[in-house]
Amino acid sequence: MTRPDPDNVRRVACVGAGTIGGGWAAYFLARGMDVVATDPGADAEAKLRDLVARAWPSLEHLGLSAGAAQDRLSFTGDLSEAVADAEFIQENAPDWKDLKIEMFEKIGAAARPDVVIASSSSEFLPTEIAAKCAHPERCIIGHPFAPSYLVPLVEVVGGEKTSADVMDWAMDFYNGIGKKALRLKKEIESYIANRLQVAVFEEMHRLVDAGICDYADVDVAMRYGPGLRWAFAGPLLCLHMGGGQGGLTGFIEHFGWTGPEGSQDKALGEVERLYGDYSMAELEAWRDANLLAIEDKVTAEPGQ
Ligand SMILES: NC(=O)c1ccc[n+]([C@@H]2O[C@H](COP(=O)([O-])OP(=O)(O)OC[C@H]3O[C@@H](n4cnc5c(N)ncnc54)[C@H](O)[C@@H]3O)[C@@H](O)[C@H]2O)c1
């Protein structure tokens, strides 16, 4: 049995069905797939079905694929049974390294030999997780963000033995079902987005510890400031636009550059490649339209 094309996956297994696994199950169902879930937790099936039902209105809002239905979810307490016929496996057990290694060993023994096995792990190297898995060339990290049925980003990380074919397949699979897959060039613990978040969290603690502000003030600073822009423009584009008409070049002239040697040319090259076709006036009009869309729609506080 060979792995299906990434746009032809019909049957997916979710191993571990808590917050993230349940969110994945809901998302795969909404894309019109059959989902088999397994989880040894108390009342796991009932909790999963409840999560899927609560996520469903949001998924309907996004648009369901043909044939999508909550009743295409099945549940078994037997891990081997769950993965035996799966055409893709998303593992979502708790983030304990020894457990992940054990899970991948068990999944690898029961699944078809070429089926791609992705871990939702937030931290571990795929090389470590796949250490005891049969056919480790099909093992990857596919790291989502909560809620995994709504946030598009999936970080795709390969280990030392992961094949380039599998990385290509996983990118096509996630992108094909409407996710935004981001491929890391090499493995690193905690991947990209959480490392960026950690930098913010650490600075938050430093500011509060130094008596500059309270934790609530940090939320205000982010929510009503850069967070609005970061919803549609990453740090590189923000730097480029921070330079006004001069773009990133102007920014560097005014504020200097703190990155390591060689990074300035790299950043300038990326800006040219990505945004070189747009005048600053065009970028600013696009920015303003996005800010207005967010400000119009976002409720200021929970409950409002
Ligand atoms: N919560 C997040 O924001 C988030 C975001 C991205 C990735 N992740 C990752 O997703 C994974 C799951 O995290 P979560 O937040 O859903 O945790 P969770 O505690 O909500 O769910 C974990 C589930 O795994 C089940 N489980 C325990 N042992 C198991 C086993 N042997 N086999 C199968 N299932 C088992 C538990 O019963 C539970 O339902 C972790 O690797 C975590 O790092 C979490």
- Parallel, antiparallel or unpaired: strands 88-91 and 153-158: unpaired
In angstroms, rounded to a whole number, what is the distance separating the alpha carbons of residues 73 and 38? 11
Cis omega (within 30 of 0) on the bond before 147?
Answer: yes
The alpha carbon of 44 and the centre of ligand 1 are apart by a number of angstroms equal to 12
Task: Report the chain's mean pLDDT, rounded to a whole number.
Answer: 96
* Model-wide pTM > 0.95: yes
Whether 41 lines ligand 1, by a CB cut-off of 6 Å, is yes
Same domain, yes or no, for 10 and 120?
Answer: yes
Token look-up 């390294």 returns: 97
Whether 16 lines ligand 1, by a CB cut-off of 6 Å, is yes
Whether 90 lines ligand 1, by a CB cut-off of 6 Å, is no
Which ligand 1 atom sits closest to the C-alpha of 16? 34
Same domain, yes or no, for 32 and 177?
Answer: yes
* Single-letter amino acid, residue 25: A
Token look-up 């899970």 returns: 103
Same domain, yes or no, for 46 and 167?
Answer: yes
Tell me, yes or no, whether 272 lies in a domain: yes
Residues 6+ apart with CB under 8 A from 46: none
In angstroms, rounded to a whole number, what is the distance separating the alpha carbons of residues 248 and 241? 7
Q: Residue 25: is it exposed, middle or buried by C-beta count within 10 angstroms (0-12/13-18/19+)?
A: buried
Cβ neighbours around 122 below 10 Å, total? 18
* Single-letter amino acid, residue 223: R
Tell me, yes or no, whether 209 lies in a domain: no
In angstroms, rounded to a whole number, what is the distance separating the alpha carbons of residues 225 and 219? 10
160-201 pLDDT, tens digit each: 999 999 999 999 999 999 999 999 999 999 999 999 999 999
Same domain, yes or no, for 102 and 236?
Answer: no
Q: Which domain holds residue 267?
A: 224-297
pLDDT at 241 over 80: yes
Q: What's the pLDDT band for 144 if we cut at 50, 70, 90?
A: very high
What confidence score (pLDDT) does residue 272 get?
97
Same domain, yes or no, for 151 and 234?
Answer: no
Q: What's the pLDDT band for 296 if we cut at 50, 70, 90?
A: confident
Same domain, yes or no, for 21 and 88?
Answer: yes
Residues facing 155 on adjacent strands: 143, 182
Same domain, yes or no, for 25 and 170?
Answer: yes
Count of structural domains within the chain? 2
In angstroms, rounded to a whole number, what is the distance separating the alpha carbons of residues 131 and 80? 19
Q: What's the pLDDT band for 295 if we cut at 50, 70, 90?
A: confident
Task: Give the residue among 248, 253, 217, 216 at the shortest CA–CA distance from 235.
Answer: 248
What confidence score (pLDDT) does residue 301 get?
75
Same domain, yes or no, for 20 and 136?
Answer: yes
pLDDT above 70: percentage of residues in the chain? 99
User: Could you tell me where the DSSP H helices lie in 193-234?
Assistant: 193-209, 215-223, 226-230
What mean pLDDT do residues 265-276 have? 97
67-87 pLDDT, tens digit each: 999 999 999 999 999 999 999
CATH no. for residue 95? 3.40.50.720
